[in-house]
Amino acid sequence: MSCKEADSPPYVSKKDYGESLHEFGRPALWDAQHKDIGTTGFIAGAGAGYYQDENDKIPDYYSIDIQYKGKDSYPVYFSRDFKIEDLPEKFIDKKIDDIVSYDLKTRIVTFKVGKETYKYTLPE
């Protein structure tokens, strides 16, 4: 059965989260692009986060993640946050198709962030 047909998100013993740069207690908006990862029921997201209490449109951090499209929620299986100053110039303007790729045979999702790559193998 594919993940898309499952009633609940696939179980994994360990999800893969990097250090969060979001400051606890501060409301933020995530201006993200999303992309379906094949027919797996998972989606990849990438975009800048903005703190709402600053009342500006200057990005405060950048995030990538993988979520499962559940019925009532979208649990996160993988995430990484980046300081804006650590990203290549104009990186936040890239389209998600230029950042995320998926290998159907290995079930590996790859994010290319500047010279670095981040990989996550989707659960069965």
Helix or strand holding residue 4 (H, E): none
| Residue 30 lies in domain | 14-121
User: How far is residue 52 CA from its own chain's centroid?
Assistant: 20
How many structural domains compose the chain?
A: 1
pTM: 0.88
Residue 43 lies in a domain: yes
Residue 9 lies in a domain: no
Residues 17-56 as b/e (b if ≥16 CB within 10 A, e otherwise) read eeeeeeeeeeebeeebebbebbebbbbbbbbbbbbeeeee
Please tell me the chain's helix, strand, coil percentages from 3-state DSSP, rounded to the nearest 5.
10, 40, 45
Q: What is the DSSP letter of 97?
A: G
pLDDT along the chain (124 residues), means of 10: 53 83 93 96 96 91 95 92 96 97 96 96 90
